[in-house]
Amino acid sequence: MTSLSSKGEEGAVPDLSGLLARLSEKSNSRLVSPNGFTPGDFRYVMIIPTYNESMNIIAMIERVLALNNGGAVMVADDNSPDGTSRIVEQYILEKNEPVYLLERLLDRGRGPAGIEAMVTAIVLGFPLIGEMDADGSHAPEDLPVLLAGAAGTDGAIGSRLVPGGRQVGRPTSRVLLTTFANIYARAVLDLPYRDITSGFRLFTREALSAVPWEDLESRGPSVLQEILMVLNQKGYSFSEVPITFTDRILGVSTLNGKILRDSLLKLLHFRRRYRKGLAH
C-alpha cells in the first residue's frame, strides 16, 4: 500500500534517475538528443507519443517549433513499423533543432510510453511538461493558450468542452461520444474538469514529480485520467482552457471501440483504488 501524500513544498523535485533507469531497461529504450541545448533553458517540452505517424510527425514538430516561444519537442515512439523513429532521428541529425527522440522497443502502449517520456522530461529538467497527439487533432497554435492557463497554477488542460472549445470535422456520433464519456468520467472520478479525456495538457515539473509512477496501472489511454486523479488527490489543480480539436486527416487512429470501452471500465477501478487517497 502506497500513501498518496499531499502537495509538498513548492519547487521540490525528487531524484527520479533511478526510476528512469528501470523504465528504460524494461522498454529497451534509447534517447536521441540534439547538440548544444540545455533542457532547463527551455520554457516547456511537448511530448508527442507516436505509433505509425510517419505522415504526420515532422509537420507537428515544425508547427511547435514555429511558435518560437521557448518550446522543445520529445517524440516517444513505440518502435513504429512505418519508420517514424528513423524519420525523427534523421530530422534531429540534419536540423539540430530542440527535438528529442525516445525510441522504445519493448513494454509498448500509450500508458508506458507516456510514463517513461514524462519521467525522462522530469529528469532532464524541463520546467513545464506537456503532451499532445501526433495526428494534428491538437493544434500547436493553441499552445500559447495552455501556457497562459498554466501561469500561477500546476498546469493546464486543453478542453473541447469549455466555452470557446471546438470540435472540427468530427461526425456527430464522435462529438456525442466525447461529451458522454466525459460526463461519465467526471461523475465516476469526481474531478472538477469538463474534458477529462483530453490528451492536450501541460503540467509543472513539480506536479509531475509527485506522481507515483511505478504504482500507475494504466497501459492505454486511461493513463490520462489516472494521472489527473492522483494529482487531484494530492492537492494539485489545473486550469481548463479552450482548444480547437480537429479530426485526424492522415494515418489511422489506434483508438478503437475495445480500447475505449476498456478505458471507461478502468475508471471504476480507479474510483475504488484512489477514493481514500491510497494506492493499493
Predicted pLDDT of residue 40: 86
DSSP 106: S
Residues 6+ away with beta carbon under 8 Å from 161: 178, 179, 182, 194, 195
Identify the residue with better confidence: 277 or 27. Answer: 27
Share of the chain residues as helix, strand and coil, in percent rounded to the nearest 5: 40, 20, 40
Mean per-residue pLDDT over the chain, rounded: 90
Across 12-30, average pLDDT: 96
Q: Is the pLDDT of residue 96 over 80?
A: yes
Predicted confidence at residue 249, as pLDDT, reads 66
Does residue 253 contact residue 210 with C-beta atoms inside 8 Å? Answer: no
CATH class, 13-279 region: alpha beta
- The Cα-based distances of 238 to 82, 126, 154, 246, 252 in angstroms read 36, 18, 6, 23, 31
> What span, in angstroms and rounded, lies between the C-alpha atoms of 186 and 25?
36
Question: pLDDT band at residue 9, thresholds of 50, 70 and 90?
Answer: low
pLDDT at residue 264 in the model: 73
| 253: pLDDT strictly greater than 90 | no
Strands 128-131 and 44-50: parallel
Kindly tell me if the per-residue pLDDT of 258 is higher than 80.
no
Residue 102 dihedral angles phi and psi, to the nearest 5°: -105, 105
pLDDT at 2 over 70: no
| pLDDT of amino acid 279 | 43
The partner residues of 242 in beta bridges, in order of sequence, read 159
pLDDT at 272: 81
- Alpha-carbon gap, residue 29 to 241, rounded angstroms: 34
pTM for the full predicted model: 0.90
